[in-house]
Amino acid sequence: MAFNAPFWSPSQASAILFDWDGVIADTRLDFSDIRNKYYGERRAMLLEDACTLAPGRREALMRDLEELEVAGARNATPVPGIDKIMEWLESARIPWAVVSRNCGKSILTAAETIGMKLPSVLLSRDDFSPVKPDPRALREACRRIGVSPSQSLLIGDYIYDMMGARRAGMRGVLVRAARGDGWGEWLECGYSDMRELYDELLDPTDMIPWEYQDTAERYGADFLKRVHRLFLPLPRHPRPTLDAGAARAASLGVGGFHIGDEIFTPHMWKENPSLDIACVGLSLRETIARFIRDRWPFASVARGGESERCPPSDAGSLPEFLSGFAGL
């Protein structure tokens, strides 16, 4: 089943990245003793906060982590339903990768234990640093696969996975985990287990992407659907600023923008400081395109001039303007 933007489904991903432990292999790791040993009552991230330890303690921490992870890997079991997900990936010819905070030895050991053939792209903490939720490992995996992050999906079971996906500009799906406080705003959707996700892949339903969920909740899915069909002309000298106007319109679901090809000058950057300073000297169209596609991947920017129907300078009037523009 195919969906037209702005609707989306996990089945539309051009590549899928998986966390390892708890998503493909279940090793039932418990890091509480290690956390207490090295950090006491401090709420610390095991890997990221290792830099706060003395060198000897840091090395001991990494040894203890590897020992725990490898021991768990020797008794690993496949996550229920992952075999069906892998069959679907193969039949759909969708490339996949593993990006994990675990050590490489534990992943290799667990894969052998459960009889899982690993993908060609595998990034453990030994292969790439920094690890999730830093987005760079996820972006590197996408680069190696040859698919942009905006076309990719990360499947994980913890908040770090969802943070990493959001920071990398990817879709994020949570499986096998109850949503903790504040988790919901990080992900596209969640599933109770891999079998439920598999059912979604076989019989997909149209979903509203993360970046448009607030708009749909406030103004309705029909508003979003119609507004997304629009190509909105952007004025050369908007009020208050071009970046603010484009961001507001894109967040409301506008699917495309027209703008001229004049040069993005240093003076224009000073008036629109959230635009990428590296674009100074490039066309304004390319500058706005970069600004939009990193944040709203379903929107596009095309060449075009000004129009009498440019959006109002008052951001509060934009929903009413778009309703009229879309014939609502």
149-162 tens-digit pLDDT: 999 999 999 999 99
pLDDT for residue 38 is more than 70:
yes
Taking a C-beta distance cutoff of 8 angstroms, is the pair 227, 252 a contact? Answer: yes
DSSP code for 128: S
pLDDT for residue 13 is more than 90:
yes
Taking a C-beta distance cutoff of 8 angstroms, is the pair 75, 21 a contact? Answer: no
pLDDT tens column, 42-93? 888 999 999 999 999 999 999 999 999 999 999 999 999 999 999 999 999 9
What six digits make up the tokens of 207?
A: 């979903």
The more confidently predicted of residues 312 and 15 is 15
DSSP string, 138-199: HHHHHHHHT--GGGEEEEESSHHHHHHHHHHT-EEEEESS---TTTGGG-SEEESSHHHHHH
CA distance linking residue 80 with residue 96, whole number of Å: 18
Taking a C-beta distance cutoff of 8 angstroms, is the pair 152, 170 a contact? Answer: yes
Provide mean pLDDT across the span 91-109: 97
What is the set of domains in the chain, with CATH numbers? 10-202 (3.40.50.1000), 214-325 (3.40.50.720)
Packed helices 82-92 and 194-202: angle between N→C axes, nearest 10 degrees:
30
pLDDT for residue 101 is more than 70:
yes
pLDDT tens column, 179-220? 666 788 888 889 999 999 999 999 998 899 999 999 999 999
pLDDT tens column, 253-297? 999 988 888 899 999 999 999 999 999 999 989 999 999 988 898
- 3-state DSSP call for residue 114? helix
Residue whose tokens read 């830093």: 134
pLDDT given at position 322: 86
pLDDT given at position 258: 87
